[in-house]
A and B are shown apart, each in its own frame.
Chain A
Amino acid sequence: MRSSPSDTRSLWRATRSMAVAIAGLALLASPLAAQEPERRLLSVPYEMFTLPNGLRVILHQDRSVPQVAVNVWYHVGSAHEKPGRTGFAHLFEHLMFEGSGHVKEGEFDTLLEAAGGTNNGSTTSDRTNYYETLPSNALDLALFLESDRMGYLLDVVTPQMVDSQRDVVKNERRQSYENAPYGRAFLRLTELLYPEGHPYHWPTIGYMDDLSAATHEDVVEFFQLYYAPGNASLVIAGDIDPDEARRRVEFWFSDVAPGRTPPPVTVPAVELDNVVTERMTDRVQLPRLMLAWLTPGTFRPGDAELDVVGALLSSGKNSRLYRRLVYEMQVAQDVSATQYSSKEGSIFLIDVVARPSDLGPDESIARLRAIVDEELDRLRHEPPTEAEMTRVRNGIRASFYDAMETIAGKADQLNAYYMLTGNPDYFAEDLGRYETLAPDDIRAAVRRWLPADRRVELVVVPEEQ
């Protein structure tokens, strides 16, 4: 799976763990591959326990560098927002850095920087994460800061702070979407896919009017509903002694009061029953075609198959769409086909940017769409070759190893697996999803999940100059 797009607290040290979302894993088809060393790596040993206040804690030792990654997930995202307050989960994320009961405004960053640490946070539809990477001698500092904002955020948040971060977030929206080429199309996509009222309908960054409407009272309510320790999980990975780390966690989080159980999010069943088309204009040079489908959520049947479909279509020069559209016909500048996985349901997106041509923008788009449909149709009728399956599996497997290279990446993945499956060390099971796929499973998934007559077709064409 690739994590769905998220909105991030700051540009600083744009995070590796976001970029290297683990794509799951798969074994080499070759029987010669050394199985034993791999098995060793497919497991990330951990210790897990729960504090009396409900906080779930996961510890993993990796002493390859004298650094430690602290990673907290709150199981709340934009899907939990109430009407008229879109973007609030992410705005709230920003406020978590502005100080807490015993941390003055600005100190969260200055203390960590003075200790040689970096930090950031991000929000998706399903969760909000916060993380620090710092020298292992400073673990106490990170735990002090995380426990203080978990326990004492409301002691210091003021309406002025809300105003200040509201301005920052509005500028994030301008920079990342409104003033970025094609950025508004990404805001529109989920609106077209999900009906109004569905928790994935609105963008995580939120609407400007809703950002304007957010109040200090909303902050209090949101914190009390969703920021209880029982709705969070803490991973510490890196240069630690697990027993000592456990004592430090128990020490720093012992005075964080338990809270209520958050209300569940209601997710209505949703399906597209026809082709939804929209044509937008933007200040861009080239037309762009986005074809999108509603697909199964993370780890549900079909999710892994669609990861493989994405790679078959657009990963590498020999992938089917890249080869035809970009390499052979040279009618596209780039193409991507990706399963963007979220907890309650995913989006499969085929995204093609046209090359400049003598055709008008709509004719250019029609040509791209016809080729994409030809290739999808081919996959609906004949399974991919064994060679294609091997190529894709090996690429997925390699991306898994790359993600294992950082403690921050492992910490985030342990939290992701925990939230989605209850098992932080889900690496081997994740692998199993790809290991067992046969070519005909891929054909079946395309037939089932990527029909030509039930999808969103979003087209962006250049504004008349």
Chain B
Amino acid sequence: MLTLPRVIARMVLAGLVFLAAAIPAGLGAQDGPDRSRPPATGPAPSLDLPPVAKHRLSNGLPVWIVGMHEVPVVHVMMIVRAGAAMDPEGRFGTASFTAAMLDEGAGTRDALELADAIEMLGATLTTGSAYDVSTVELHALAETLEDALPLMADVVRRPTFAAEELERLRAERLTTLLQMRDNPAQLATAAFNRLLYGASHRYGTSIIGTEAANRALTVEDLRAFHAAYYRPSNAHLLVVGDVTGDAVLPLLERAFGDWAETGRPPAAPAPPTMDRPASRAIYLIDKPGAPQSQIRFGTIGVARSTDDYHAIEVANTMLGGSFSSRLNMNLRERNGYSYGAGSSFAMRLGAGPFVAQSAVQSDKTLEALLEFVNELAGMAAQPPDDELTRVRNFEALGFPRGFETTTAMANRLAELVTYDLPESFFEEYVSRVQAVTAADVQRIAEQYMDPDRMIVVVVGDLASIEGPVRQAGLGPVTIVTADEVLQ
């Protein structure tokens, strides 16, 4: 939740240098190892990612296949370029409701028959929406893939949208929205996004949408959304795991090759741009008796298409993207106000939020807010060399971990697809991270991390925290209710 979305594909890590003061340990010692210095680590091994085989089915649907053969499983992901950001005005929640309905009956099977057919194969099938895309994902044993793919094709292409299933999901979704009020962490995030973007911008409401829209949406709304966007020309299929192209392509062709194209999908509206806050404003939401305050401190960030992607990743890791980051060391390790603190940029097709966050004990709320200000402001100063080196290495050398499982590999590839990243993104990742300079970090800090131009949301026990926060003069204080930020 606190890390940057990371992307990749084919890359080689080799010959990078890491530990600054690395001296060989006393290999010949008879009385035990020389512990006076940490051991040298030598050059990092190279990671050769398996190649991405790119194909098209006869209807033009792009298919990328990556072989991973250690475990006999396969992850298949259909990416549809229509997420919550495509929701019609006044109908926030359409994309995610549509995705949720896909496996509630499809083809000739009703919801229970479909679930049974998938589970009998030991497979799992999940559907969902992000802001930028919707996905249908199948995770199956390689030996059952042939039987599972037709079920996935039904779900993508032939959902039933049965009225009684829609009513059942409607009740479930409204209950989920109701339960957000119980959870201070979810409430704080929802409030932060709403107060930053407003009620009309899609990023100001969580993906599930508003209560009003979830009450109002009809079968026709969902059918229309499906018809408009779930088309081969608006989709992309990933197959990752214990398969070969020769064996799997005929199965894919059978499942998706005759998925008819019905014309171009509606063009995506340009994501509306929003001005960043010009000054600091504080918003408080009451959670009577809460032992902790949930804090969100941030502003509008940047779109995934930014040229500053690597610099932002490094700057964010330094501030709040790893255990040794400044926010965590301050709020947790030095002051003990919290179990953890961090920060993240949500980089989407449009500019998602940048947020620094923590849950802190109630009686240290003001102290914690002041430390957020200190750490955010401190990012404007030139970072020490050793810190910058550590952060760059953490990002660059940890990169291979994201490719270990079929699911993780598919997620990495999906980001390439979703954001139309150039092929060179893979090979360049490590060198571009390593090229981030102190001046780059300062530039990012100046642009996005100025604590004087942010909104601050605190969900906590107002009886004890409101007075101190007001008296500190951190900025104008407004009390808002859960209803105001969730509706």
A binds B: yes
Residues of B within 8 A of A (CB-CB), count: 91
Partner of B71, one of A28, A117, A404: A404
Residues of B36-74 whose CB lies within 8 A of A? 36, 38-47, 68, 70-73
In the complex formed, the residue of B with least CB distance to A117 is B398
Of the stretches B114-122, B129-137, B224-232, B256-264, the one at the interface is B114-122
Partner of B43, one of A11, A137, A397: A137
Cα distance A139–B338 in the bound complex, in angstroms: 31
Partner of A65, one of B168, B322, B393, B401: B401
Cα distance A387–B121 in the bound complex, in angstroms: 12
Cα distance A180–B182 in the bound complex, in angstroms: 8
Is B73 within 8 A of A405, CB to CB?
Answer: yes
B interface footprint on A172-206 (CB within 8 Å = 1, 0 otherwise): 10111011110000000000000000000000000
Is B178 within 8 A of A286, CB to CB?
Answer: yes
Is A116 within 8 A of B44, CB to CB?
Answer: yes
B interface footprint on A400-429 (CB within 8 Å = 1, 0 otherwise): 011011110000000000000000000000
> How many contacts A-B (CB < 8 Å)?
253
Query: A164-B333, A168-B336 in contact; A405/B404 too (CB < 8 A)?
Result: yes
In the complex formed, the residue of A with least CB distance to B167 is A330
Partner of A168, one of B182, B289, B290, B339: B339
**Which residues from B are CB-within-8-Å of A355?**
171, 175
Is A394 within 8 A of B2, CB to CB?
Answer: no
Q: Does B361 contact A (CB under 8 A)?
A: yes
Partner of A171, one of B40, B115, B329, B360: B360
Residues of B99-121 whose CB lies within 8 A of A? 111-112, 115-116, 119-121
Minimum C-beta distance from B246 to chain A (A) = 19
Q: Does A260 contact B (CB under 8 A)?
A: no
Partner of B292, one of A110, A179, A317: A179
Is A66 within 8 A of B47, CB to CB?
Answer: yes
Is B404 within 8 A of A407, CB to CB?
Answer: yes
Minimum C-beta distance from B74 to chain A (A) = 11
Partner of A402, one of B73, B340, B360: B73
Is A12 within 8 A of B393, CB to CB?
Answer: no
Best-buried of B39, B111, B361 by chain A (most CB within 10 Å):
B39
Cα distance A135–B400 in the bound complex, in angstroms: 8
Is B119 within 8 A of A395, CB to CB?
Answer: yes
**Which residues from B are CB-within-8-Å of A370?**
none
Is B72 within 8 A of A37, CB to CB?
Answer: yes
In the complex formed, the residue of B with least CB distance to A37 is B72
Query: A179-B184, A239-B45, A391-B119 in contact; A113/B394 too (CB < 8 A)?
Result: yes
Of the stretches A212-220, A249-257, A290-298, the one at the interface is A249-257
B interface footprint on A1-42 (CB within 8 Å = 1, 0 otherwise): 000000000111100000000000000100001100110010
Query: A64-B404, A135-B397 in contact; A148/B35 too (CB < 8 A)?
Result: yes
In the complex formed, the residue of A with least CB distance to B178 is A285
Q: Does A109 contact B (CB under 8 A)?
A: yes
Best-buried of B20, B361, B403 by chain A (most CB within 10 Å):
B361
Partner of B19, one of A62, A111, A285: A111
Is A405 within 8 A of B179, CB to CB?
Answer: no
Cα distance A109–B323 in the bound complex, in angstroms: 7
Q: Does A223 contact B (CB under 8 A)?
A: no
Is B122 within 8 A of A144, CB to CB?
Answer: no
Cα distance A68–B323 in the bound complex, in angstroms: 20
Is A285 within 8 A of B404, CB to CB?
Answer: no
Q: Does A141 contact B (CB under 8 A)?
A: yes
Q: Does B390 contact A (CB under 8 A)?
A: yes
Q: Does A382 contact B (CB under 8 A)?
A: no
Is A137 within 8 A of B322, CB to CB?
Answer: no
**Which residues from B are CB-within-8-Å of A285?**
178-179, 181-182
Cα distance A401–B112 in the bound complex, in angstroms: 25
Minimum C-beta distance from A107 to chain B (A) = 8
Query: A37-B72, A102-B35, A401-B71 in contact; A10/B45 too (CB < 8 A)?
Result: no
Partner of A144, one of B25, B289, B332: B25
Cα distance A397–B115 in the bound complex, in angstroms: 17
**Which residues from A are CB-within-8-Å of B181?**
285
Is B141 within 8 A of A10, CB to CB?
Answer: no
Is A140 within 8 A of B122, CB to CB?
Answer: no
Q: Does B342 contact A (CB under 8 A)?
A: yes
Is A174 within 8 A of B361, CB to CB?
Answer: yes
Query: Can you pick out 8 interface pairs between chain A and chain B where the beta carbons lie within 8 Å of each other?
Result: A67-B404, A114-B393, A175-B359, A179-B290, A327-B168, A397-B122, A398-B141, A405-B70
The 6 closest A-B pairs by CB, nearest first: A116-B397, A255-B32, A167-B336, A394-B122, A66-B45, A11-B340
Add 12 more A-B contacts to A66-B400, A175-B338 (CB < 8 A): A10-B323, A107-B38, A140-B25, A163-B336, A167-B337, A171-B338, A171-B361, A174-B291, A179-B290, A255-B31, A333-B176, A405-B71
